Structure 1
Amino acid sequence: MTDTGGDMVAPVSLRVSDADRNGTMRRLHNAVALGLIDIDEFEQRSSQVSYARTRGELDGLVGDLPGPGAIVTSAADRVELRGWAGSLKRQGEWTVPTRLALVRRLGSIDLDLTRARFAGPVVVIELDVRGGSVDIRLPDGASASIDDVQVYVGSARDRRRDAPGEGRPHVVLTGRVVCGSVTIRGPRRSLIRGRLEGPHRGRARG
């Protein structure tokens, strides 16, 4: 009889796949959205996910967090916006949920959050975009993370100057963009100039 016990690999030493890493990232996104970990902890842990090679390494990043089944997924916490072609726009005073899923095919998404109300200090935006663009405007003082966005033939950029590393609100973008782009911007500069210069513009010209 052959003894194969010595060839067995401990569960913590098993190699992990991209699907396993994505599952860990979802748990981290949920945790920061629920306030279980702060932004610094999220950034530290998420940066290690892509380097994890074994189950033990991944488990060490979420061992103190609730499992996926413990996450609240009510309509009040997560909103999904779907569309095909055309454009989707949100602006003005609207409520941004803690989790926002954007599913788009062949179209554009323009989200202006500069005057929006936020359900929490952290917003997780899940992207599933193919052949389209996503343009997000954030208010002054807001921070954003685009490190977890997978882009295939396209780009993901934060065009703001001197954007804070840890602001309020903090927007975490995740998911996949195929043949498209993601752009983070600040408030429209023309609006800011109008507010600052409005009372004095007429006098300067007089």
Structure 2
Amino acid sequence: MSALSMPDAGPARGNMVAIMSGVERKGVWSAAAHVNAVAVMGGIDLDFTRCSLSAMETVINVMAIMGGVEITVPLGMTVIVDGVGIMGAFVDNANQRYGPEAPVLRVRGMAIMGGVEVKSSKKQIGG
């Protein structure tokens, strides 16, 4: 199975929690179709460059309170960011849109005195 392929069966939901600590997913890993990411005075680092997806659309619900979430995406993945920063930032630095055949990463949520950043790895899917 190649990176960013849709396996026959994968986790539907996943949770990542960093409270005064950190969570990191890099290299080859599998992402659930729906992910809840909570960073409270901690950090979460997700790199989708070599990730296997469970569905064509992956939704990440983010809550960053005095913490940070950094999401890295490969070229070829559509990114839709819909979040609010309150005394913080919710930023889409990837600005990637592709056709209907491309996998979609939808990031939504809130950053309170914290930050959420989506950025491009500048590598192709699976690279």
Paired residue for 1:98?
33
User: How far apart are residue 126 of structure 1 and its match?
Assistant: 0.7
Matched residues in 2 for 1:82 and 1:130: separation?
A: 12
Matched residues in 2 for 1:156 and 1:99: separation?
A: 19
Matched residues in 1 for 2:11 and 2:30: separation?
A: 10
Q: How does 1:129-144 map to 2 (within 5 A)?
A: 129-144=64-79
User: How far apart are residue 166 of structure 1 and its match?
Assistant: 4.7
* Greater relative CO (CA pairs within 8 A, separation 6+): 2
What is the identity percentage for the equivalent residue pairs of Structure 1 and Structure 2? 23
* 4+ runs deviating over 4 angstroms: none
Paired residue for 1:80?
15
Matched residues in 2 for 1:122 and 1:175: separation?
A: 16
**Structure 1: gaps (5+ residues):** 1-74, 196-206
User: How far apart are residue 140 of structure 1 and its match?
Assistant: 1.0
Paired residue for 2:119?
185
Tell me, yes or no, if structure 1 residue 110 matches structure 2 residue 45.
yes
Matched residues in 2 for 1:90 and 1:140: separation?
A: 18
* Greater fraction helix: 1
Root-mean-square deviation (CA, aligned residues, Å) is 2.2
| CA separation of 1:152 and 1:166: change in aligned 2, threshold 3 A | farther
Matched residues in 2 for 1:146 and 1:166: separation?
A: 17
Paired residue for 1:121?
56
- Give the alignment's TM-score, normalised by structure 2: 0.80
Tell me, yes or no, if structure 1 residue 159 matches structure 2 residue 56.
no
| CA separation of 1:184 and 1:133: change in aligned 2, threshold 3 A | same
**Structure 2: gaps (5+ residues):** 1-9
User: How far apart are residue 76 of structure 1 and its match?
Assistant: 2.4
| CA separation of 1:153 and 1:165: change in aligned 2, threshold 3 A | farther
- How many residues align structurally? 115
